[in-house]
Structure 1
Amino acid sequence: MMDPLAIRGGKPARSTPLPPNYPGAVLMGEEEALAAAEVVKARSPFRYYGIEGRHAVETFENTMAEKLQVPYVLGVSSCTAALITAMKALGIGYGDKVIVPAVTFMATAGAVVCCNAVPVFADVDESLNLAPGDLERVYDEDVKAIITVPVLGSPCHMVPILEFARRHNLYVIEDVAQSCGVTYKGRTAGTMGDIGVFSFQMNKILTSGEGGAIVTKRADLFERAVRYHDQGLFRQKERYGIETDETAAFTGQNYRMSELTGAVLVEQWKKLDFILEGMKQRHSSIVSRLRSELPSIRLRAVIDEEGDIGSSLGIILSDAGTAQAVAGALGAENISAFTLYGGKPVYMLPQFFHQRTADKDGFPYNYPFKNPVRYTEDMCPRAVDLLARTLFIPVSPLLGDQDEDEIVGGLVKVLVGLNVLER
């Protein structure tokens, strides 16, 4: 006999909640505090000059470049800033369309609109990442780029996406915000397309509270990115050995990373391998045990198991109602579970669905495209279906053997106790 469910008066599987879903933040400590304090004591929080400059952002950029084996890394103020800067580097703007996966955070599509372009949404596969087979449906001559988003630590199927992009002469932007450390066929996410962007916001794999980065192998794109993020300037030319033509300078924004952010990220990057190893090993063990205990369990598909960083466990249930019932029962067992983005594709957010912007006359949606952009609720049916019935359970790098036992035991207890699955 199994113990009664906690929602029915039974003893919870865990006596305390799981660690917070902030992989980088839960490992913050004295190292980050001292690094930030050094910047303050040096009275030099601005990256390009100061009283006693510590060059923390430059050190962070060099560290990340070495880790990813790319020549160019640019620290910026957020991943949204990175997305906008990346698209500006690629020359994307008014009259252009950009393909965005239906499952992503609002910033991915929002950055497209902020670049005065229009997002068109492609459906997902069972990995909940962009489905390469749906690209043809949304492609037309106005599309200039594809944004890929490896959601919650699991890689995208990049080979067919890159092949499609080459065939149609499209740029590929990799939005790796949620998935620092993900690989695909041995290649690091963010380094396979034309340009990649990373996030260091609070709940990301590494964090400085806010912050982002741009990576590329192309000097021309890097120069444009540097200029756009720094009011059109390109300082530190000697550092990169890039010949520049000042007559080609253009107006930019201020998306610069501060030295305080850079200092914290230098220390966070030292912890990346530990974080990834902990999550991957624990995730793999949990999956193996669940499949043994519950042979009929349906887990989120993984395109490349070696490349998945194991930051979350995705369980696909029969319908949205069952997913919500299981989430509630797991919560009572002190095992947090959630449906991503409220169970709805990003295009269902009102600002996108109704094409609302802060600009007048519907700009940039008012461009006279040959094929007008229209959004409908059912245009990405797999995203609509899967998001509402897929539950995610965070896998913290801090989980121990007892945590694993309680997670597996609690999941079996709930799924069997609610008659969702049989043992």
Structure 2
Amino acid sequence: MTARNLTTRAGVINPHQLFDLSQEDTDSFSHLKSVLADGQLFRYVESDRESANTLVERHFAEHFRKERAVAVANGTVGLRLALRALGIGPGHRVAVNAYAFIACAMAISATGAEPVPVDMGGSVLSMDADALEKSVGHLDAVLLVHVQGHALAAGPIRAVCDRLGIPMIEDVCQALGAGSSEAGAGRVGDVAVTSFQQAKQISSGEGGLVAGPDEVIERVYRLSDLGAVRQENGLPDWDHEDALIGDNLRMTELQAALVMDQAVRLEDTLARQRERRSRLRAGLSDIPVIKSENPAEDAGSHTLVLARDTAAAEEFRVELARRGVLARPVWKKSWVEYGLYRREFASGAPAGPWPGKAVGLASRILSIPTSKYVTDSAVDQVAEAIAAGRQHLIQDR
């Protein structure tokens, strides 16, 4: 590895970019080469080449063990379209992790529905199933968000959804390839949504995908394709009785080709990341880290730590930066704390119990990635830096 491979311009180890095209052997990217060779970048290919979008959709329908999948513009769009396809709209209430990126709540709000925050359970990496079941007022769906290469326990949430008779969506945008003791992330819920944004496990800069039952995905497909019903010749039909008011939220062939070339290597990527993360963890044997429900099945992309308080989190970050290692909060705060949502909730808080644990811990949870590109010496440097800042950390309780 060259210095360019391992560092930013400031000389800080920066493995947050899990996929870096400049470090790949692009001669082996057969799907990308095929798209570039015929020059057709629109998903509806007018040649003998099978659409890269179609290949991606088939691959991830199988990965998530769903009937069908459709590629879309990005993960946030995927969440919104999945919700709409499930019939979620104005007057509905959708439960979502309080400890999640604000885009998850925004996707719910964009349908006209109300996001209902659910606090952490017994560990940081959990949704409180008891709190979910006791939510104030009715619920119409649940969005379970997996966190940076760690799969949350989805079984208890699935059980609550089944008892309530409501659908469950899994946000796998940050945890593609991660698993739990129950199943892989995205395989428990009715619908799985993932992302191919720059910082994700597989990246085409932007892009996303929704997988689920055929009837739901057909609706997502139309909503993302200007609402059209596609004829056998591939042309759009807005006279058909099943046509909808939709948006242009498709993924390009260039993006899909990049995704497909990485998708066929995903298991190798996960194995490399897990090996990198295992080496890091070995150097942190007596240092507290946040453990997932089934660590052996994590994607291996990140190690999470919990600081004593917000000030300690900043001191830890600065200490690592001083030693050439980049660490940062997963999310600086729970989405309910942003002014946007404080203004949305008339009383200054969402309906139901305030998610005190997520609010109190969010700024204290920091992430240290383990990209597949990081060398042994760089991993050891990261471990030494974390050890030097260990006084700022506590065990997740």
TM-score normalised over the length of structure 1: 0.82
Instruction: Check whether the contact 2:306–2:393 (CA below 8 A) recurs between aligned residues.
Output: no
Match of residue 127 from structure 2: 130
Shift of residue 225, structure 1, vs aligned partner = 1.5
Matched, 1:395 2:353: no
Which of 315, 318, 321 is matched with 1:325 structurally?
A: 315
Query: Aligned in 2, Cα 1:137/1:66: closer, same or farther, shift over 3 Å?
Result: closer
Equivalent position of 2:258 in the other structure: 264
| CA pair 167-258 structure 1, distance change in 2 beyond 3 A | same
Distance in 2 between residues matched to 1:390 and 1:47, nearest whole Å: 40
Whether 1:221 aligns to 2:216 is yes
- The whole-number CA distance in structure 1 between the counterparts of 2:100 and 2:19 is 21
RMSD: 2.9
Once the two structures are superposed, residues 66-100 of structure 1 have per-residue CA deviations (whole angstroms, 9 ceiling, x without a partner) of 33343311111111111111011100001001111
**2:38 pairs with 1:48:** no
Distance 1:139 1:376, change over 3 A: closer
Distance 1:387 1:52 in 2: 50
Residues 162-181 of structure 1 deviation map (CA, whole Å, 9 limit, x = unaligned): 01101111110101111110
Q: Distance in 2 between matches of 1:35 and 1:203?
A: 21
**Structure 1 residues 303, 419: CA separation in 2 closer, same or farther (over 3 Å shift)?**
closer
Residue type matched to 1:135 in 2? L
In structure 2, the partner of 1:415 is 390
The one of 259, 270, 293 equivalent to 1:276 is: 270
How far apart are 1:404 and its partner, in Å? 2.4
Which aligned pairs between 1:81-100 and structure 2 lie closer than 5 A?
Answer: 81-100=77-96
Q: Say which SS state the counterpart of residue 306 (structure 1) adopts.
A: helix
In the TM superposition, residue 237 of structure 1 has moved relative to its aligned partner by 7.2
Deviations along 1:13-56, one digit per CA (max 9) or x if unpaired, are xx953243111235544248774464344232211244675511
User: Given the alignment of the two structures, is residue 339 of structure 1 paired with residue 299 of structure 2, yes or no?
Assistant: no
Distance across 2 between alignment mates of 1:377 and 1:93: 20
Residues 139, 237 of structure 1: alpha-carbon distance in 2 compared, 3 angstrom cutoff: farther
Partners of 1:351 and 1:377 in 2: CA distance: 18
Q: 1:90 to 1:16 in 2, by over 3 A?
A: same
Contact persistence 2:119–2:127 (CA under 8 A): yes
Counterpart amino acid of residue 130 in structure 1: M
CA contact (8 A) 1:156 1:303 kept: yes
Q: Which runs of 4+ in 1 moved over 6 A?
A: 236-239, 418-421
Check the 8 A contact 2:327/2:366 in 1, yes or no. Answer: yes
Structure 1 stretch 68-77 or stretch 227-236: which is displaced more?
227-236
Tell me by how many angstroms 1:221 deviates.
1.1
- Separation (CA, whole Å) in 2 of partners of 1:57 and 1:274: 22
**SS of the counterpart of 2:331?**
helix
- Compare CA radii of gyration and give the structure with the larger one: 1
Q: Residue type of the partner of 2:371?
A: S
Q: Distance in 2 between matches of 1:107 and 1:333?
A: 32
* Ranges in structure 1 where 5+ consecutive residues have no aligned partner: 1-14, 240-244, 356-364, 367-371
- What per-residue deviation string (whole Å, max 9, x for no partner) do you get for residues 326-352 of structure 1? 11011100111112222x101112222
- Give aligned pairs, total: 380
TM-aligned CA distance change 1:406 to 1:18, over 3 Å: same
Identity across the alignment (%): 27
Tell me, yes or no, if structure 1 residue 140 matches structure 2 residue 130: no
Secondary structure of 1:155's partner?
coil
CA change 1:380–1:186 in 2 (3 A) is: closer
Q: How big is the shift at 1:128?
A: 3.5
Contact 1:44 1:53 in 2 (8 A): no
- Quick check: 1:354 aligned with 2:329? no
Task: Tell me the CA shift for residue 380 of structure 1.
Answer: 1.1
Provide structure 2 residue ranges, at least 5 long, that are not aligned to the other structure. 1-9
CA contact (8 A) 1:99 1:120 kept: yes
- SS of 1:224's equivalent in the other structure is helix
Q: Where does residue 179 of structure 2 map in the other structure?
A: 183
Per-residue deviation, 1:395: 1.2
Query: d(CA) in 2 for partners of 1:64 and 1:420?
Result: 38
SS in 2 for 1:290: coil
- 3-state SS of 2:44 partner: coil
1:410 match: secondary structure = helix
Paired with 1:18 and 1:107, the residues of 2 have a C-alpha distance of 27
Equivalent AA in structure 2 for residue 206 of structure 1: I
CA deviation vs aligned residue, 1:123-177 (integer Å, no higher than 9, x gap): 1232344222321343422x21100111111111111100110111111010111
Cα deviation for residue 373 of structure 1 reads: 9.1
Alignment of structure 1 residues 25-36 onto 2, 5 Å: 25=20, 27-31=23-27, 35-36=31-32
Residues in 2 aligned to 1:168 and 1:236: alpha-carbon distance in whole angstroms: 38
Measured in 1, the distance between the counterparts of 2:335 and 2:284 equals 30
